[in-house]
Amino acid sequence: MDTNRLASSIVRGDRAALARGITLAEDYPAQASRLLVRLGPPGRAFVVGVTGPPGTGKSSLVDRLIEAYREKGLKVGVIAVDPTSPITGGALLGDRIRMTAHAVDRSVFIRSMASRGWSGGLSRATSQVIRLMEAAGFDLILLETVGIGQSDIEVVGVSHAVIVVLMPGLGDDIQVSKAGLMEVGDIYVINKSDLEGADPMVVSLLSLFRGSPRSPPVLKVSALTGDGIGRLPEALESIRQKFLSAGEDLKLKSIRGMIVEEARGAAMARLAVVSQAKAGRLARQVLAGKITVESAAARLVR
């Protein structure tokens, strides 16, 4: 199928075409770029990052959000970039369970993505997949990542809202502040609040925000028992309403993030093409003491 036909099939809402576009973004981002330029500008879909340490139950909360927004009649896309999640890490089985739950619902599209490969590659692909889902008519796109390392920082860049998911017994506030999660959340969720230690965690989290200009909501929920779970879509909805009414700043932030990811990915890809053989030759000269690592790197970038 040529790029023009694939583009129009995606816009028409053809799920197989969307899946094909996503595979393209994962494997051949440069080709995906040629597809994406045919799909119109981004800015319509509401993009929500859901991040937090492994095991905090992000997937269950994502499932709840899918349900809540399906009830409103929105089309919901999910991108899971979490190697420890039952979706991605547990992999096939997890995928199958969730796909089955929403299989009859053609207004839900779930895709897990591998977090391997060159730095910058994943986030470029993620950003491209958001744009593909948006072009396919999805109104809400949930981006689930494990709250560890760089992928989350990048996710923040393309999201309109970020939900940080925590749970009791994580080492409390230190972990949160060290992992850079303090700055990024628009909503904080203490999940598994049926476990001991939830209340102190809420208190310590609130105390971290005391004196800061930000005061994001801190929600105590249990995806297991359902306690407090309704407050999450409520809190998210109030951000989405801002996005829908005024929202130009929010839209610009996300688009800026997409531009940066695309630029970064393109720059990295260019480097990758030249790097292997040339870097090998340069390494010999460095080992022989003829040139420095720095000058070798400079020759590689050029």
| Residues 105-124 within binding reach of its own copies (CB under 8 A) | 114-123
Query: Given candidates 103, 206, 244, 283, which one binds its own copies under the rule CB under 8 A?
Result: 283
Q: Are 236 and 76 in contact (CB under 8 A)?
A: no
| Residues 172-201 within binding reach of its own copies (CB under 8 A) | 174-175, 178-180
297 scored as a contact of its own copies (CB under 8 A) = yes
Sole window of 34-42, 64-72, 101-109, 236-244 interacting with its own copies (rule: CB under 8 A): 34-42
Q: How many residues bind its own copies (CB under 8 A)?
A: 76
Closest separation between CB of residue 141 and its own copies, Å? 15
Closest separation between CB of residue 30 and its own copies, Å? 10
Q: Are 209 and 180 in contact (CB under 8 A)?
A: no
Q: What are residue 86's phi and psi, to 5 degrees?
A: -60, -25
Q: What are residue 84's phi and psi, to 5 degrees?
A: -100, -5
268 scored as a contact of its own copies (CB under 8 A) = yes
| Residues 43-102 within binding reach of its own copies (CB under 8 A) | 43, 53-54, 83-84, 88-93
Distance CA(129)–CA(131), nearest Å, equals: 5
160 scored as a contact of its own copies (CB under 8 A) = no
Alpha helices in 28-57 (DSSP H): 29-36
204 scored as a contact of its own copies (CB under 8 A) = no
Sole window of 8-16, 159-167, 210-218, 253-261 interacting with its own copies (rule: CB under 8 A): 253-261
Q: Which residue number, 119 or 225, has a Cβ lying nearer to its own copies?
A: 119
Closest separation between CB of residue 9 and its own copies, Å? 19
Burial 191-206 (b: 16+ CB within 10 A, else e): bbbeeebbeebbeebe
Closest separation between CB of residue 67 and its own copies, Å? 26
Q: Which residue number, 41 or 200, has a Cβ lying nearer to its own copies?
A: 41
Q: Are 223 and 191 in contact (CB under 8 A)?
A: yes
Distance CA(5)–CA(264), nearest Å, equals: 28
Residues whose CB falls within 8 Å of the CB of residue 155, separated by 6 or more in sequence, listed in order: 49, 51, 81, 123, 126, 143, 145, 162
Q: What are residue 159's phi and psi, to 5 degrees?
A: -95, 150
Query: Given candidates 27, 206, 256, 273, which one binds its own copies under the rule CB under 8 A?
Result: 256
